[in-house]
Amino acid sequence: MLKHICQFLLGDAALVTATLEPQSIDTVVTSPPYYRQRDYAADDQIGNESTPRAYVDRLVEVFRALRPAIKSTGSLWIVLGDKYVDGQLLGMPWRVALAMQDDGWLLRADCIWHKPNAMPSSIANRPTVDHEYLFLVAKTADYYYNADAIREPHVTFSERSRMKGGRRHFGLRGGTPEQGKNSGRSNLHDARWDQAFHPLGRNKRTVWSIPLSKFRGAHFAVFPEKLVETCLLATCPPGGTVLDPFAGAGTTALVAERLGRHSISVDCNAEYLEMAKRRVLAARSEHSIMNASAQQAASLQKSGQR
């Protein structure tokens, strides 16, 4: 496996990211500290502000500080959960998203991260929360987005149903757009069929069902690798660079390493940053060992063939 550059920078997200090289980052994948959720044991930590407004302002300041480092084709994925205070839902993710929009960012998508293995709760007077939000925010309208890299399987049309004629209104049972009741209809020729049912799958939808991470090394919520992978494949070209200004246990860097992207991880807590470094290095050496044994097996096989 190729070694990719991964940097680990200790300090406050706004201060550190403001020093990054201008136009050097392709994408940001991050889950900021949630409002009044945890104590990250650092003086400059975000999340314990006295009002929702102060929290939103601090997050917007961080994204404003890192904006010059983002390429004009760059984008941000921001994962945020909501919060009940005094029995009332704050709508915090949307407060942040709208404040980002007011600050000049282009809000491109709100996705729901559905957690099929979310903790049960004893709440009886409202539904149990099993989702968070994921906002895709771009710097300009000309942002990089590889839709093909994250397509998902067609639901109503499998290869089998397509061969058999698919939904009835496209033709009689056993027919295709080219045969049967609708054959010869100009709006059902091959090209249109492929356009409607892309061979790589349908365009990614906005509800992503991904189980919570199994990594238990940190005492805070680590986001799942699958979630980061989807974001990276869509908005970070191969060989590009991803930034996580709230790196925690370094899941973004870990996935970047595996997918051949460079990464920059920032966190204000030295212990977490060390944990992130260890995690990425362990994955690296695991892959090196796997590659070395694969190479050894291949050369043994070759020498046996001689």
Ligand X SMILES: C[S@@+](CC[C@H](N)C(=O)[O-])C[C@H]1O[C@@H](n2cnc3c(N)ncnc32)[C@H](O)[C@@H]1O
Note the residues at the interface with ligand X (CB under 6 A): 12-13, 31, 33, 40, 42, 44-46, 218, 220-223, 246, 248-249, 251, 266-269, 272
Q: How far is the CB of 79 from ligand X (least distance, A)?
A: 7
Minimal distance, residue 63 CB to ligand X, in Å: 12
Q: What residues does 114 pair with on adjacent strands?
A: 131, 209
One DSSP character per residue, 144-167 reads ---GGGG-B--SS--HHHHHHT-S
- Output 176 or 252, the one with its CB closest to ligand X: 252
Angle CA(152)–CA(239)–CA(80) in degrees, nearest 5?
Answer: 55
Distance CA 69, CA 290 (A): 35
Count of C-beta atoms within a 10 Å radius of residue 17: 25
Tally the C-alpha atoms within 13 A of residue 241's C-alpha that lie toward its C-beta: 17
Residue nearest to ligand X (CB): 248
Look at phi and psi of residue 174 and say left if phi exceeds 0, alpha if psi is from -120 to 50, else beta: left
Q: Which is nearer to ligand X, 77 or 170 (CB)?
A: 77
Q: Which is nearer to ligand X, 176 or 230 (CB)?
A: 230
Least CB distance from residue 4 to ligand X, whole Å?
18
Q: Is the dihedral of CA 66, 67, 72, 73 positive or negative?
A: positive
Q: Which of 47, 260 has the CB closer to ligand X?
A: 47
Using DSSP's 3-state secondary structure scheme, residue 126 falls into coil
How far apart, in whole angstroms, are the C-alpha atoms of residue 284 and residue 197? 38
Output 73 or 269, the one with its CB closest to ligand X.
269
Smallest distance, ligand X to C-beta of residue 280, A: 12
Residue 40 or 170 having the CB closest to ligand X:
40
Task: In angstroms, give the least distance from the CB of 181 to ligand X.
Answer: 53
In angstroms, give the least distance from the CB of 64 to ligand X: 14
